[in-house]
Chain A
Amino acid sequence: MKDFNIMRDLLEDNKRLAEANHEILLSKGIFTINLLGSPGAGKTTLLEMLIRELKDEIGIAVIEGDLYTSNDADRIEKENIQVVQLNTKGVCHLEANMVKEALAELDLKDIDLLVIENVGNLVCTASFDLGEDIKITVLSVTEGTDKPIKYPLIFQKSKIVVVNKMDLLAHTDFSLDKFYQDIRTLGEDIKVFEVSCIGNQGIEEFASYLKKLIKENKLAGEKN
């Protein structure tokens, strides 16, 4: 019988690849978002709205993660920006090596913002960094108030939480008070935006906040 003391991180390969992705993106002055949320929360619709709001001023590219289809990438392509579809064929989350392959397909020249839309999933996606600067989680009011507390890791790791479908608030039992209370316990500095993509509410404010982050990222990159 032989004992081996090992102490190796099960995520070490993913972490290493995520850092390599981040370095490539940083060196090109690209601000990168890992866009997360449940299936049907409105990630793709929010992204479409954001693109329309930002694309005149900001160079945008998108990586779309999906199990099998190219439905979301087809929608993004209509906005006339570069998009790569990643099909995971059943894997429930994107991993850094997949993003590495997608980056090789993109022309990163003149890109300021890269959005990686992850597979719709509040659990698995939280564990795999992709090389992003920030995580943004989209939560729709129809999903219920308790989601941040039930899936704490993903919300805790998000710099921004977008509460979507605010136009439906009156038809649900979603409690904004309880939501804010829970979010504050998960992270005091998580920034929250209340939006309605269908009603075009709150999008402009959200977009201008992102614009600020993208500009700060550019300035920090130029200093280095």
Chain B
Amino acid sequence: MIEVKVCSQTSWACPEEGQMMHEMSLMSELFSIIQEYVSEYHLSKVSKVVLRIGEMTCVEDSALKYAFRLFARGTEVEGAALLLKRIDAVCECQVCGEKYKVDYTDKYCPICGNYNYNLISGDELLLESLEGEEEENDERL
């Protein structure tokens, strides 16, 4: 038998035993994107992070906030505001074209009554925007 030791793509180490959740993996990905911006634009501080979270993602706000605080600790992101925008799940009916809100247990078109699951929003997990302060170049003079 072949055994392969693997780690999550961005190699996050679980900071506290027992906190195994997929929000950690998402946060790890988020912080690697934030880090790109911090390096590229020489940000001394990130003050706000805005995420878009679709209703059909099974991602939990409190778990995200918890993971955010853990990942932010000791970085330019520490103390930043985390804004979570929940996005409604919307389908476009493949029969009559109506756009309508759906949830896990109700996916029938309110106009023609057909069942279809053509999701046009609600499965997104996006970093929408960042707000940060740039380093002042003359600081060290």
Known contacts A13-B29, A90-B14; decide if A1 and B132 are in contact (CB<8 Å): yes
* Among candidates B4, B58, B105, residue contacting A126 with C-beta atoms closer than 8 Å: B58
Distance in angstroms from A48 CB to nearest chain B CB is 15
Judging by beta carbons under 8 Å apart, are A91 and B8 in contact?
Answer: yes
**Chain A: interface residue total (CB-CB under 8 A):** 53
Judging by beta carbons under 8 Å apart, are A2 and B132 in contact?
Answer: yes
A74 interface residue per 8 A CB criterion: yes
B66 interface residue per 8 A CB criterion: no
B106 interface residue per 8 A CB criterion: yes
A186 interface residue per 8 A CB criterion: yes
Known contacts A2-B41, A9-B124; decide if A85 and B4 are in contact (CB<8 Å): yes
Judging by beta carbons under 8 Å apart, are A101 and B4 in contact?
Answer: yes
Provide the B121-139 mask, 1 if CB < 8 A to any CB of A, else 0: 0001111111111100000
* Among candidates A74, A91, A185, residue contacting B25 with C-beta atoms closer than 8 Å: A91
A98 interface residue per 8 A CB criterion: yes
Provide the B97-123 mask, 1 if CB < 8 A to any CB of A, else 0: 000000011110000000101000000
By beta carbon, the residue of chain B nearest A64 is B1
A138 interface residue per 8 A CB criterion: no
What secondary structure prevails in chain A residues at the interface with B?
mixed
Residue from A10, A91, A98, A126 having most chain B Cβ neighbours under 10 A: A10
Q: How far is the CA of A9 from the CA of B125 in the complex (A)?
A: 6
By beta carbon, the residue of chain B nearest A188 is B115
The residues of B that contact A152 with a CB separation of less than 8 Å are 58, 104-105
Within 8 A of A (CB), among B1-34: 1-10, 14, 17, 20-22, 25-26, 29-30, 33
Q: How far is the CA of A8 from the CA of B29 in the complex (A)?
A: 10
Judging by beta carbons under 8 Å apart, are B1 and A74 in contact?
Answer: yes
The residues of B that contact A9 with a CB separation of less than 8 Å are 124-126
The residues of B that contact A73 with a CB separation of less than 8 Å are 1, 3
Judging by beta carbons under 8 Å apart, are B1 and A153 in contact?
Answer: no
Known: A2-B134, A3-B130. 16 other contacts (CB 8 A): A2-B132, A6-B127, A7-B126, A7-B128, A7-B129, A11-B29, A13-B10, A88-B6, A89-B6, A91-B7, A91-B25, A93-B25, A127-B22, A152-B105, A185-B107, A186-B104
